[in-house]
Structures are given as C-alpha cells and as structure tokens.
C-alpha cells in the first residue's frame, strides 16, 4: 500500500485570492483533488514540507486547514487515487502530443513545398526546446508513470530526428559559405537588426561596438521585414551572414566571424546562448538572473535605443568581471 499526505481546507468565502493562490501551488506540485474533498500527494519528506507550508499559510490568513498522513486500507482505493494522478498527467501529455503532431505536419508540408531554410530550422529547434521543457515539467509531477508518457516520448524522438536531419544539412551549408571577416572592413558602419531587441541582439550590438566597429550606429527595422535599409550591415536577421548558424546564436556567430578569441567574451557568449536558445547547453548559473534584468529593462524602457544604451552597461560590467577573473 502507498502512503499519502492529505490536505483538507476550508477557505473563507471572502478570501478568493488565497483560494486561487493555494490551488495554483497545489497544482504546481502535482496534488490531486480526490472525491472533491481532499488534496492528495504521495508521502515524501519534500511533499510533507510543501503541504505543511500551505497548511500554515491557510491558517495564517484566517481560514481552516488540516494535514494528515495515512495509508489506504485496500488496494482498490490505492488504484483509484493513482488513477486520478494518471488522468491529470495524461491530459497534459496528450496536449503535448498534439503539439508534436502539429509541428511534424508543418515540417512535412514545408519539405514538400518550399523546403526548410536555416531560419526555420532555428524556429523548429526553439519549439522543440519548449516541448522538452514542458515534458520535463510534467514528468516532475508524474509520480506513477502515466500511460501517455511513452507515446509523448516517441513523438518527441520523431520530431528530434526530423529536425536533426535539417540541422545537419544547414551546418553543411554553413561550413561551405563560412569565412573570417576583417575588422578593418567594418569601420563606421550602420548596423541593422529587428525591433524589440532582447538578449542576443543587445549583446551582439555591444560586441560590435566594443570589439568590431567602435563607431557603429544601429537602426531597427520592423518585424517581418526581410530587407534592411541600403548601406546597412544586417545582424540577427534572416538570411544575413551574422545571425544564428547551426547551434550558435548571433553573438557566437559574430565571435567566430571576426575570430574573437577572449575567455571573458566566451563566458558572455555562453550566457547569451543559454538565455536565447533556452537549451541550457552551457549550464551557466548566471543566465536566469541576467535574463530577468534584461526583461525588466525592456519592460521599463520600451525603446530600443535606450535599451541598447543600458544593455551596453550590463555587458561592460560582465566583461570587466570576467576579464578580472581570467587575469588573476
């Protein structure tokens, strides 16, 4: 028999915010509402701590809550509770399976008509990373291995295989066309990128101005625009030399294109990569904090030129920090 931890609560009618907050926390941790009366989790030390914290929170807000640790007296009751856990997780798994099917269908249709461009490969990989993260989130609360998990894993494997095929094709093309550019040829240029800049474009603009073109000027073009103003050097734009290539974000592409070999820059490149591509390739712990800072600035400023100025300060500070570390 399984051991369970039960939370029974009665939240006051005049505390709707508390009711929603508690419900969201219980859902996040995978608790199920059994018989419309009690929230249940399999008993572990971690779950006991979570439930105790929620119980105390409810009481502190002036409502009633009780916590129990118990075992089922018969196998059928255990199976009924486990079935409730399966139903919740399977619902989430099925939704992701449908997303995988939709992505595979889009890729197949594109293959049969226009072909897969490098930009599309990048977008498909972004979507795959989102699916993998969602699947991982569900797995964390799938305490009893819901039946649909295996089907989802098969769909993800199929999607990964399809995207990998096009990734390899894209990388072959890059190796043929790739080259090292001379910094002296890019002095005093006007550089163009898409509006609503975020981490990769902010960092890339900083890299350009600090290490490639100190007199660089930047212009921002509307989303969906394929063409850039005449006389500009595009970056982080579809079809440009300085954009995502293979596994690299634009910042990494620029480093390779101009043969910038600096340990401090490499550290920044890894942070930018992890934030932009969300694949945790380098596992940089600083990434989450820096992403939150940049997100906050973009919400506050809502102006690409001002955001770029503030971004320069952030990356100047990061570079100073890593340069000091490597010089010790």
Report how far residue 186's alpha carbon sits from residue 325's, in angstroms, rounded to the nearest whole number: 30
Q: What is the pLDDT of residues 118-169, one digit of tens each?
A: 667 778 888 888 898 898 889 989 999 999 999 999 999 898 888 877 665 4
Count each helix (H run) and each strand (E run) in the chain, helices first. 10, 7
The pLDDT value recorded for residue 113 is 72
Q: What is the pLDDT of residues 265-280, one digit of tens each?
A: 999 999 999 999 888 8
**To the nearest whole number, what is the mean pLDDT of the chain?**
88
Q: What is the pLDDT of residues 155-199, one digit of tens each?
A: 998 988 888 776 654 444 434 335 678 899 999 999 999 999 999
Question: Mind listing the domains of the chain with CATH numbers?
Answer: 3-71 (3.30.70.240), 78-177 (no CATH), 183-327 (no CATH)
The pLDDT value recorded for residue 281 is 86
- Whether the per-residue pLDDT at 325 is higher than 90: the answer is no
Mean pLDDT of 275-290: 89
- Whether the per-residue pLDDT at 83 is higher than 90: the answer is yes
The pLDDT value recorded for residue 167 is 60
Mean pLDDT of 226-247: 83
CA 325 to chain centre: 28
Mean pLDDT of 196-209: 96
- Whether the per-residue pLDDT at 216 is higher than 90: the answer is yes
With bands split at pLDDT 50, 70 and 90, how would you rate the model's confidence at 230? confident
Q: Are 177 and 151 in contact (CB under 8 A)?
A: no
Report how far residue 232's alpha carbon sits from residue 188's, in angstroms, rounded to the nearest whole number: 11
Backbone angles phi, psi at 236, to 5 degrees: 50, 45
| Order of strands across the sheet that contains 232-234 | 217-221, 190-194, 232-234
| Cα-only R_g, the chain | 25
**Poorest-confidence range of 89-98, 231-240, 314-323?**
231-240
Terminal Cα distance for the chain, rounded: 59
- Whether the per-residue pLDDT at 106 is higher than 60: the answer is yes
What does each C-alpha distance from 18 to 37, 39, 51, 64, 295 come to in angstroms?
Answer: 17, 16, 15, 12, 28
**Poorest-confidence range of 125-129, 200-204, 251-255?**
125-129
Backbone angles phi, psi at 195, to 5 degrees: -65, 170
With bands split at pLDDT 50, 70 and 90, how would you rate the model's confidence at 117? low
The pLDDT value recorded for residue 116 is 65
pTM of the predicted model as reported, rounded to 2 decimal places: 0.54
Q: Which of the pair, 283 or 113, is modelled with greater confidence?
A: 283
The pLDDT value recorded for residue 21 is 93
Report how far residue 11's alpha carbon sits from residue 56's, in angstroms, rounded to the nearest whole number: 12
- Whether the per-residue pLDDT at 115 is higher than 80: the answer is no
- Whether the per-residue pLDDT at 313 is higher than 70: the answer is yes
CA dihedral 152→153→158→161, nearest 10 degrees, is 140
Token pair in block for residue 304: 């690409």
Report how far residue 266's alpha carbon sits from residue 319's, in angstroms, rounded to the nearest whole number: 10
Tell me what percent of the residues of the chain surpass a pLDDT of 90.
59
Tell me what percent of the residues of the chain surpass a pLDDT of 70.
91
- Whether the per-residue pLDDT at 326 is higher than 80: the answer is no
The pLDDT value recorded for residue 328 is 43
């Amino acid at each position: 028999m399984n051991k369970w931890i039960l939370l029974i609560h009665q939240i006051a009618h005049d505390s709707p915010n508390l009711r929603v907050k508690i419900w969201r926390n219980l859902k996040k941790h995978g608790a199920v509402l059994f018989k419309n009366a009690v929230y249940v989790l399999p008993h572990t030390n971690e779950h006991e701590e979570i439930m105790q914290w929620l119980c105390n929170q409810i009481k502190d807000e002036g409502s009633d809550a009780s916590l129990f640790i118990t075992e089922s007296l018969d196998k059928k009751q255990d199976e009924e509770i486990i079935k409730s856990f399966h139903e919740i997780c399977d619902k989430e798994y099925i939704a992701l399976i449908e997303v995988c099917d939709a992505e595979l269908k889009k890729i197949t249709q594109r293959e049969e008509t226009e072909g897969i461009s490098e930009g599309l490969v990048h977008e498909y990989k972004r979507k795959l990373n989102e699916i993998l993260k969602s699947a991982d989130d569900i797995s964390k609360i799938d305490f009893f291995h819901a039946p649909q998990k295996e089907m989802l894993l098969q769909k993800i494997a199929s999607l990964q295989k399809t995207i990998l095929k096009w990734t390899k094709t894209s990388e072959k093309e890059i190796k043929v066309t790739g080259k090292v550019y001379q910094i002296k040829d890019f002095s005093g240029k006007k550089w163009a990128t898409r509006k609503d800049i975020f981490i990769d474009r902010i960092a890339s603009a900083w890299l350009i101005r600090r290490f490639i073109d100190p007199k660089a000027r930047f212009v921002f073009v509307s989303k969906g625009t394929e063409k850039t103003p005449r006389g500009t050097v595009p970056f982080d734009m579809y079809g440009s030399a300085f954009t995502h290539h293979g596994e690299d974000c634009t910042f990494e592409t620029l480093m390779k294109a101009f043969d910038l070999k600096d340990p401090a820059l490499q550290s920044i490149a890894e942070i930018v990569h992890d934030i932009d591509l969300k694949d945790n390739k380098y596992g940089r712990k600083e990434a989450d904090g820096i992403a939150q800072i940049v997100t906050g600035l973009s919400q506050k400023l809502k102006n690409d030129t001002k955001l770029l100025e503030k971004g320069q300060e952030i990356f100047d500070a990061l570079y100073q920090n890593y340069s000091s570390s490597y010089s010790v």
